[in-house]
Chains A and B, each alone.
Chain A
Amino acid sequence: MEIVNLAVLPEVTSAGVAIKAIIILAIISAVAGFGTFIERKVLAFMQRRLGPMHVGPYGLLQIAADGIKLFTKEDIVPQNANKLIFKIAPSITAATAFIALAAVPVFPDFTIPEWIPLLGGVFVPSIAADVNVGILFILGMMAAGLYGPLLAGMAQANKWGIIGSARTAVQFLSYEVVTGLSMLAPIMLVGSLSLVDFNNYQDGGFTSWMIWQQPVAFVLFLIAGFAETNRTPFDLLEHEAEIISGFATEYSGMRWGMFFIGEYANMITISVILAVVFMGGYNDLGFMAGWFIVVFKIAFFFFLMLWVRASWPHIRPDQLMWLSWKILMPVAVVNIVITGIVMMI
């Protein structure tokens, strides 16, 4: 069956992969910038404020103003900091976020129409790098991304930074187990680690979505995903009210901006994983085309993160550890055992 499919599909050329990589980089960094604007507007709406209004219509040009500010701001490196590590840290966050996106299928395969000059007829695959172990690769890369905050906090010779990086380690060691274990039950059902197989497993319409078979895994992964992207309620690393700005205290200008591009790219990655693994992926739904509906699913999860930020307070680090190790991990293990028993029967 698979061999037949492979024969029908056009060959994946390096030009196609390069185009896909450029699409990912361009769209995601643009969306990440736009995401900051959306976040401020949504939070303002939920808190009965107006949000940014002065630059451009409805404050739309605020992104451009912020960009100019970030790029032209003086780049300060503290005197006693470990300068090399201090400069490397932001690029770790941004780079790993985009490397993780390389293995994410966002849109279905498509071929560029023949009438477009130069690139006509090039086949663009749905994934830039179709590794067989896609889901593990993405989670591993996002985990490696936490080295950015960790190194930033330790390199800057600032007490708030040290506390921020200690919290990074705490947060990583808490949620990482839950992410892996909650994802294990869907992996057992599908029998593959490839995100394309996850998508094809759910091609039977609305009722075949993974969320109906694995509601517990969905909730667990959603909670772990919030911790993975450092979103409120688990916004421990740079908890403004307690530790100034945590790992980002000494950063300014574009180095600071790279942390946030990485964070928003990670939010999009988690939204895509939730959409592809649990919510039917980019399969057609009724009369709506797959690429169209998947954008809505991703946007919904992105909105959910902002919604939660507006509704929930921060929690303390010890509460996060308690939640992860004493509640979420046992529930995830029980979920795996029950899934295994049901599959064997």
Chain B
Amino acid sequence: MGMSRINSTKTSPSYSIIRHAKDKLGQIAVWTLLATLLVFLAIKLFQSSLGPVRSGTPPDFTLTTFSGQTYTLSELKGQIVIVNFWASWCDPCKAEAADLEMIWHDYKDRDVLLLGIDYADTKDEALTYLSTWNITYPNGPDVGTRISQSYRIRGVPETYIVTQDGLLAKSFIGPTSYENIAVILEALLDK
């Protein structure tokens, strides 16, 4: 009661400031909301303008392979990890399929892991593709295309090489070859 009486005296200068602020409260709230929204949009715009992941720590993911094993990128430190995005319907992927399998054959005993991530595909066709090309390294579907989204891939194939320390060493947009990958692997293994 006492408080409300003080507040209702119009002569009090502090009251008029409060009243003024109260009148403007709605406006202030609207402006704050708009500013917040714009800040978020600006950050997001900046992030998406960076394009595909090129350096630093690559996005973490957990892949469950067609045969049921799981691999989590962040738990694979100490070995080099090659991440290859592919799909059975993708013709350029076929161009690099034999090379990738050869990389796996030559480097799997030297602490190199090759993971195939099957993008937007059906299981039957993917398995047919794997057996056609005699692929033996671990492969699994990208359920809900979550991994592809986090890597902001532009299409398939794309290949990312992650160092023993979990940093991105190199990325290939489009098909790559045995030589391209081997050069990077040798350099990393020599360190």
A and B associate in one complex:
no
Chain B contacts to A: CB under 8 angstroms: none
Chain A contacts to B: CB under 8 angstroms: none
